[in-house]
Amino acid sequence: MQAHAASASHSRSRSRTLFLLALGSVGVVYGDIGTSPLYAFREALRPISQNGLVRTEVVGLISLMIWTLTVIVTIKYVLFLLRADNHGEGGTLSLLALLTKATKGRTALLFFLGAAGAALFIGDAMITPALSVLSAVEGAKLVTPTLADYVVPISVVILVAMFAVQSWGTAAVSKFFGPITAIWFIVMGLAGLNHISDDLGILAAFNPYYAIMFMYNEGYLGLVVLGAVFLTVTGAEALYADLGHFGRRPIQWAWFCLVFPALTLNYLGQGALVLAHPETIGNPFFLMFPKWALLPVVILATAATIIASQAVITGAFSLTRQAIHLGFLPRMEIYHTSETQTGQIYLPAVNTVLLFGVMLLVFLFGSSEALATAYGISVTGAMVVTTVLAFEFLRMRWRWTPLAAGAVLLPLFLLELTFLGANLLKVHDGGYVPVAIAAAVVLVMWTWTRGTRILREKTRRIEVPLPAFVKSVEKQGAHAPVQVSGTAIFLTSDPDFAPAALLHNIKHNHVLHERNFILTVRTANTPRVMPAERFSVEKISERFSCIEMRFGFMEMQNVSQALGLMRKAGHKFDIMSTSFYLGRRKLVPDAQSGMPMWQDRLFIGLANLATDPSDYFRLPTNRVVELGSHVVI
């Protein structure tokens, strides 16, 4: 009896945990895709309604939306990609890290794909807040037309406030994300269900025949419409990117039990409403609600769009941290905003860049209708990149043959290429914005990785192999540097060679500590590293040892904390008698360095903007000594 009761209690506990995680995922994972009904059907309907509405076109359009959600979100992301995880973490860069580990290095193609996917996500993180908040606030015009002139100012105030509180962290407010967004999905689903009876013929949209015939009959116009149809799956990348926060099962349960049914019902309801009342074509989403409910729905929609925006902003923070640890970007200040949730971080530099970009988009486009033309390219591009990486994942990790992997993914790849082509038709109408943003981010990543490689090659020419250096110091006898008490830790990226700071210290100060550690910090291709595997120590001589510290690409690289683990493991040294030596390079541009002069200057600018290593690695500020040198790059 007791065993049965314990088993039942454990089962209830697991069910409750699954429910809470699923509810949390509704707010964070599905916040973005949950705001698509605000504008997706309206924008898709616009091109085909110029000469009046045709029943088969409306039914075909809703069929396209439902089957886009089914094929791309349900099949690709929910059922397949959520299984392609890197120790529980998802996302483009997480998948890239997994593949580079399998290929024993970073190939040029994989780097480009990873950089492109990350860059497109950054573009999405700029456009989503602007488009979502504008579309929600525009609903206020239906409450009272006098607010029409205040849509942009109200949106700006909301967006500025949202970015201003990022440094506070999302730990407290995130508790409300799930319930509010769940209410939002329930309201959307009920509103759609209420209007399906306006024209029951809309239920024919479940038949994919109408979607296929729509594309066949519309020709070029069908491609234009397809670009707007893709707005229904914006935010689908968050399914994969936020895998590590909630796990596969909660995300899947939330999709099948709440999100997918609510979205489907809402789009069916909008279609039926437009068929029965063509005058509602201007804003079918908000016109599904009675007058008395408009203001509460606008407020709820605004809350939902803020949550959706918060989700992509947090995703941009996480993605940037991964890019830094993988060597795609220079070091930046990273702050943890929660003591229990490692994924809740704040990057001031990224926050500032996103705020500037979002404000520029709001003032440049001024309405969700205009901004919707700029959307889609970043999302479709990121999805195409993910599909290509998924092909490599099937081959390398699951050991599928290229033929089998191609047979599964080629139809999906061709479908997404079609969507990408449809969105590229909007380049001249504003689609150039995400392309320009992505190109700028890829350029920065390429310059940084290329510059750091050239810098490493140049400095290696003048470096001294560490074993030879230690051997020469130990043999100097009377000419050896003066030995002083205490411990010195020299940080270096390459433990095979003597750190520049160590060479400069002996050259200029003529001293050597009684204990010297050559410290290298490595980023593993896994999200996190177990404490037992955090460090390893290799003794070279009586006075010299090498330490290698390992951190996952989702972790804070806190050297002081790791040294505490070392002391607990029996490596005794007093932190107050330990000095940390860092080498600081002053970079000088050189047209013959291997990069054009403009790229040289960009790399130097990025290096100057990089966070100080003592802050990035969380070193004791009063124990750090920096020794500089000039390097022509």
Assign 496 to helix, strand or coil. coil
Write the pLDDT tens digit of every residue in 53-109: 889 999 999 999 999 999 999 999 999 988 887 777 777 888 887 787 666 555 777
pLDDT at 103: 64
pLDDT digits (tens, 9 = 90+) for 208-237: 999 999 998 888 888 888 888 988 988 787
Is residue 268 a contact partner of residue 205, using CB atoms and an 8 Å limit? yes
**β-bridge mates for residue 580, sequence order:** 489, 624
pLDDT at 6: 54
Q: How far apart are CA 117 and CA 113, in angstroms?
A: 6
> What is the pLDDT, as a whole number, of residue 596?
86
The amino acid occupying position 354 is: L
Do you know the residue count of the chain?
Answer: 633
Which secondary-structure segment (H or E) carries 345?
strand 345-346
Sign (positive/negative) of CA torsion 293, 299, 303, 306?
A: positive
Chain centre to alpha carbon of residue 256: 24
> Whole-angstrom Cα distance, residue 205 to residue 302?
29
Q: Is domain 1-451 given the CATH code 1.20.1090.10 in the classification? A: no
Q: Hey, CA dihedral for 199, 204, 206, 210, is it positive or negative?
A: negative
Average confidence score pLDDT of the chain: 85
Give the distance from CA 452 to its chain's centroid: 23
In tens, the pLDDT along 230-263 reads 889 887 877 787 777 778 899 999 999 999 999 9
Q: Find tokens 């889609």 and name the residue.
A: 376
Give the CA distances from residue 384 to residues 107, 249, 378, 415, 514, in Å, rounded to whole numbers and listed in that order: 19, 25, 10, 9, 56
Residue 57: name the closest of 224, 264, 239 by CA: 224
- With CA atoms as reference, report the closest residue to 582 among 621, 529, 543, 633: 621
Per-residue confidence (pLDDT) for residue 429, from 0 to 100: 77
Looking at residue 537, its pLDDT comes to: 92
Would you call 276 helix, strand, or coil by DSSP?
A: helix
Burial level of 197, CB count in 10 A (0-12/13-18/19+)? Answer: exposed
Strands 544-551 and 535-539, bridge-based pairing: antiparallel
Single out the residue of 481, 494, 548, 496 nearest to residue 517, CA to CA: 548
Tokens of 551: 């951190």
How far, in Å, CA of 95 to CA of 84, rounded?
Answer: 8
Please tell me whether residue 499 adopts helix, strand or coil conformation: coil
With a CB cutoff of 8 Å and minimum separation 6, the contacts of 534 are 549, 550, 551, 562, 565
Residues 6+ apart with CB under 8 A from 17: none
The pLDDT of residue 52 is 78
Task: Please tell me the distance from the alpha carbon of residue 417 to that of residue 481, in angstroms, as a whole number.
Answer: 65
For residue 538, is pLDDT > 80?
A: yes
CA 437 to chain centre: 15
Q: Phi first, then psi: give them for residue 543, nearest 5 degrees.
A: -105, -10
Average pLDDT over residues 492-503: 88
Compare 206 and 525 and report the one with higher pLDDT: 206
CA distances from 213 to 246, 361, 423, 518 (A): 39, 36, 20, 68
pLDDT for position 21:
82
Per-residue pLDDT at 191 exceeds 90: yes
Distance, CA of 486 to CA of 577 (rounded, Å): 5
Kind of pairing between the strands at 511-523 and 544-551: parallel
CA distance 520 to 550: 9
Q: What is the share, in percent, of the chain residues with pLDDT greater than 70?
A: 93
Quote the crossing angle between the two packed helices 2-28 and 291-325, to the nearest 10°. Answer: 100
Mean pLDDT, rounded, for 576-599: 82
Q: What pLDDT digit, counting tens, does each position of 304-351 carry?
A: 888 888 778 877 888 888 888 888 899 888 877 655 555 567 889 999
Given a contact cutoff of 8 angstroms between Cβ atoms, the answer to whether 72 and 383 are in contact is yes
* Pair 441, 316: CB distance under 8 Å: no
pTM above 0.85, yes or no: no
Mean pLDDT, residues 180-184 taken together: 93
Query: Which of 103, 104, 86, 87 lies closest to 95, judged by CA?
Result: 86
Residue, of 285 and 101, whose pLDDT is higher: 285
Phi, psi of 627 (to 5 degrees): -125, 125
Neighbours of 441 (CB within 10 A): 23
pLDDT band at 523 (very low <50, low <70, confident <90, very high): confident
Is the pLDDT reported for residue 3 higher than 60?
no
Exposure string of 294-314, with b = 16+ CB inside 10 Å and e = fewer, is: beebbebbbbbbbbbbbbbbb
User: Domain limits of the chain?
Assistant: 1-451, 465-632
DSSP three-state, residue 579: strand
Give percent of the chain above pLDDT 90: 28
Which range (157-161, 420-424, 519-523) has the least confidence?
A: 420-424
141 or 330, greater pLDDT: 330
